[in-house]
A and B are shown apart, each in its own frame.
Chain A
């Protein structure tokens, strides 16, 4: 971990450098477990003086789906928002501790939150398409923001198609790319937002209760999509729906009152929880 920090100090603005990528894939970590993607140590997040996340240390594996579950107000969304530095966009908030993503400290000195967010995508509880933009422009919105890396228009339309393919939306919208994004259904809008987040080719994608406002059929589509995404990207999903966590995730973290109670493989956590509080929660005794 110390060595990785050294790498960051040389190039503090870039999170995903080829060297870091290679380092992360080196079989220095044991072969059975996937190498860690997000490593949080002693992470605390505050709203004013109130701590929403308390001293959480967790190591989230790469190219896997990790679910964060817990009752309402347990800090699971806040924890997620610490992984792309969105937490600090709310006035009066503060973060303590450290988070490393693929070996780079995202809270390190001189690290820009904007650079972090360009590599760590996020999708919110409610679909947030930009209402005045077409479907195409919505998917490309993150590219336009990052205009230096994708110069030509042809490249943009390829990226738009690829992102929509990955989000499982291409077949449904390929003939109406220039129509308003508001013409889509809620579930399609949410998959559009996932496509928008994927278009910048992030290393990590954070999903904050992405199906909370969707009907069961749209929920199923998003879940299938999340399940497939693990091939290419690290996914962290916050959900209050335990069945969802069980269906889509490889590992599950249980959060209670801002504290990480237990983090294990999803099978283990749901069948043989080690902590009695986890057991009470998953058997429905509270929450």
Chain B
């Protein structure tokens, strides 16, 4: 048996001491740490400057920014309640339309689609997210709105007699909360669908086999084993889509009609917080007006921050369970 030299590490130790590796490690560490610090610092700086700029409006107007409906620049009234209402309603309409469609696509692609179809269809759905929002807006004005005005709105209001409810009553001009909801649905759909597809495909084969071995049909397997396993991830995908819809500006501004009024009817024009900021920032000449717009931005920021945080947490919780 050969024995090791007494200090068999000696050679390496000497080499490492003279080597630059220890020093270069420190340099890399410092560089990457700097990058890692800059990004969160940027987020915090943006948030702080927005809240600082919004502070005069909050101090002077208080909660009336989100509780009153009178937006009168020359009179010094800045009640953005219709914009908050419009943001929430248009996003809700978008989710109601997009969620079943997106989950349907995701279930088809992950469970039923032949493998040669999975890639191209998935790619096309993902491509919806790549279309610039101003192009959606243009399409909305010249294709979607005429279609809604001439066919969909009369159908909903008169043929289905939904006009008897406050939600589909009144004249159909075209630019409306419904148009904004439909555009937002198309824009949110790829996000919901992509995340749902990922979490459905991540359901382990053992779970599927366990259901099949109990005599489940394909559909029973999906309903009882696959979807429950993926449920919180799918909800996370919906929340990501919601985050997208809440903050979307250009396309919505082009089709929603930009009227600061709270109306129960989806056929009426409305406004969103994002559209309000986009339409007025260039005309904001007095300090309070600018500060009020900043306040609206701050509120929108908080809403999307919460929605995104919840969404990420839900997706993460699925990934974590999978890892166990």
Q: Which of A22-30, A110-118, A168-176, A229-237 contacts B (4 or more CB under 8 A)?
A: A110-118
Across the interface, do A145 and B224 meet the contact criterion of CB distance under 8 Å?
A: yes
Residues of A within 8 Å of B211, CB to CB, are: 130, 141, 145
Across the interface, do A142 and B214 meet the contact criterion of CB distance under 8 Å?
A: yes
Across the interface, do A145 and B206 meet the contact criterion of CB distance under 8 Å?
A: no
Q: Does A62 touch B at the CB level, under 8 Å?
A: no
Q: Does B166 touch A at the CB level, under 8 Å?
A: no
Across the interface, do A128 and B209 meet the contact criterion of CB distance under 8 Å?
A: yes
Q: Which of B206, B220, B231 contacts A128 (CB 8 A)?
A: B206
Q: Give B237 Cβ to nearest chain A Cβ, in Å.
A: 17
Q: Which of B206, B215, B217, B229 contacts A142 (CB 8 A)?
A: B215
Residues of B within 8 Å of A196, CB to CB, are: 214
Most buried by A among B209, B215, B225, B228: B215
Q: Does A144 touch B at the CB level, under 8 Å?
A: yes
Across the interface, do A144 and B224 meet the contact criterion of CB distance under 8 Å?
A: yes
CA of A114 to CA of B210, assembled, Å: 13
What's the tally of chain B residues with a CB closer than 8 Å to chain A?
18
CA of A139 to CA of B206, assembled, Å: 17
- Residue of chain A at shortest CB distance from B322: A131
Residues of B within 8 Å of A121, CB to CB, are: 213-214
CA of A115 to CA of B215, assembled, Å: 6
Q: Which of B207, B215, B228 contacts A145 (CB 8 A)?
A: B215
Known: A124-B209, A144-B224. A132 touches B231 (CB 8 A): yes
Across the interface, do A117 and B207 meet the contact criterion of CB distance under 8 Å?
A: no
Q: Which of B210, B213, B321 contacts A130 (CB 8 A)?
A: B210
CA of A118 to CA of B212, assembled, Å: 9
Across the interface, do A128 and B207 meet the contact criterion of CB distance under 8 Å?
A: yes
Across the interface, do B213 and A117 meet the contact criterion of CB distance under 8 Å?
A: yes
Across the interface, do B224 and A124 meet the contact criterion of CB distance under 8 Å?
A: no
CA of A84 to CA of B214, assembled, Å: 10
Q: Does B128 touch A at the CB level, under 8 Å?
A: no
Residues of B within 8 Å of A141, CB to CB, are: 211, 214, 224
Residues of B within 8 Å of A89, CB to CB, are: 209, 212
1/0 per residue, CB under 8 A from B, across A122-144: the answer is: 10101010111100000001101
Q: Does A214 touch B at the CB level, under 8 Å?
A: no
Across the interface, do A130 and B228 meet the contact criterion of CB distance under 8 Å?
A: yes
CA of A242 to CA of B211, assembled, Å: 30
Q: Give A110 Cβ to nearest chain B Cβ, in Å.
A: 16
CA of A122 to CA of B111, assembled, Å: 22
Q: Does B216 touch A at the CB level, under 8 Å?
A: yes
Q: Does A146 touch B at the CB level, under 8 Å?
A: yes
Across the interface, do B224 and A84 meet the contact criterion of CB distance under 8 Å?
A: no
Q: Does A86 touch B at the CB level, under 8 Å?
A: yes
- Residue of chain B at shortest CB distance from A206: B213
Residues of B within 8 Å of A142, CB to CB, are: 214-215
Across the interface, do B229 and A131 meet the contact criterion of CB distance under 8 Å?
A: yes
Q: Can you list 24 A-B contacts with CB-CB less than 8 angstroms, sorted by A residue number?
A: A84-B213, A86-B209, A86-B212, A86-B213, A89-B212, A114-B216, A118-B214, A121-B213, A121-B214, A128-B206, A128-B207, A130-B210, A130-B211, A130-B225, A130-B228, A130-B229, A131-B321, A132-B228, A132-B231, A141-B224, A144-B224, A145-B211, A145-B214, A146-B215
A sample of 12 more A-B contacts (CB under 8 A), given A117-B215, A122-B213, A141-B224, is A114-B215, A114-B216, A117-B213, A119-B215, A124-B206, A128-B206, A128-B209, A130-B225, A131-B321, A132-B228, A142-B215, A146-B215
